[in-house]
Each structure stands twice: as structure tokens, then as C-alpha cells.
Amino acid sequence: MAEQPTWQDLLDLVAQLNESNFESASVSYGNISVQLSNSDAFAAAPAAAVAAPVAAVAAPAPAAAASVVAEAPAAAPAAAKPAGETIDAPMIGTFYRRPAPGTPEFAQPGDRVEADTTIGIIEIMKLMNPIAAGKAGVLGEFLVSDAEPVEFGTPLVIINTNA
């Protein structure tokens, strides 16, 4: 997607959320943060906390409404980030540590990886997206289990880049 999202980009995100098992999602486009929810979780809190314009988008399905909130640069995440460097999820979806059930994992704690080493995949809408380490180092503890849903920015694994 472009640095600034189009309305079609936002509508596509709403459609993806409605077709998934996720209740909410957050996506950043440069200095714009978009939060989507199938519940009223975002309806009151961000609007009161942010002085940016708020737009509500109703999904085509009447049972599943979504609200879209555009705001200035995203605030610090609510969950505490683990100490040290991490490799974070670049998108929402389901994180898998292996290419297929019953096969060996892409990488193990203690493995030396390069920036282009695949450490897992994230599935979104039946598309498998390989996740590269993005930096060289030695993998530490995986913070996400195999087949666990993740959101944008979720820390997946600790990496020691000084090793």
C-alpha cells in the first residue's frame, strides 16, 4: 500500500477483518495509524484521546460493523515490549514456525540467521507470507507459539545482533 492509504485501501482492510477470525487490528501507514474493530472497543476511547478526524465505516454485512480511526503517529503499544531486540510481525495474520504441518521449523532458538533468513510465515486470507529475520544475529526465545494469531508489530522472537 502507498504511504497514505486510499479509501479503497481502508475498505479492503475492513473486508479482510470481516472475513477473518480477528476482532480488531491496527495498521500503520507511515505517520497514520488505522485501527479496525468488529466491536465497539475503539469507538469511544481513541476518539476522546486523539484530536484527529475520526471516520466510521460500516461493513457491507449488517451484523459486522467496523470503525476506522485515523490518528497522528501511533502511541506506545499497550503491551510491554520484551527487553532487547525483537523481530516483529509486519502484518496481521496467523504466525507459523514451519512451512507445513509435520515439517521442521524454519528456525530454532540459538540458530544464527542472516537478514534474508526465513524465520516463519504469516498467513492472511489463505496467503502465506514469508517472514525474514530482517537483521543478522542469533535467535533467542520465540515469543509467539506456532499457529498463533498476531497483529502488526507483535514481537515474534528475540534476536541478539551482537553475537
Give 120's pLDDT tier (boundaries 50, 70, 90).
very high
pTM across the whole model: 0.53
Q: What gap in Å lies between CA 93 and CA 21, rounded to an integer?
A: 9
pLDDT digits (tens, 9 = 90+) for 85-107: 999 999 999 999 999 999 999 99
Looking at residue 91, what is its pLDDT? 95
- pLDDT for residue 144: 96
80-101 exposure pattern, b = at least 16 Cβ within 10 A, e = fewer: eeeeebbbbbbbbbbbbbeeee
Sign of CA dihedral 38, 42, 57, 127: negative
* 98 Cα distance to chain centroid: 19
pLDDT of residue 78: 45
From-to residues of CATH 2.40.50.100 in the chain: 85-160
pLDDT band at 73 (very low <50, low <70, confident <90, very high): very low
Q: Residue holding cell 512451512?
A: 99
pLDDT bucket at 12, cuts 50 / 70 / 90: confident
Nearest-CA neighbor of 97 among 111, 110, 83, 108? 108
Q: Distance (Å, rounded) from C-alpha 137 to C-alpha 116?
A: 11
What CATH architecture applies to the domain 85-160? Beta Barrel (2.40)
Half-sphere exposure of 76 (CA within 13 A, CB side): 4
Cell matching residue 66: 467496523
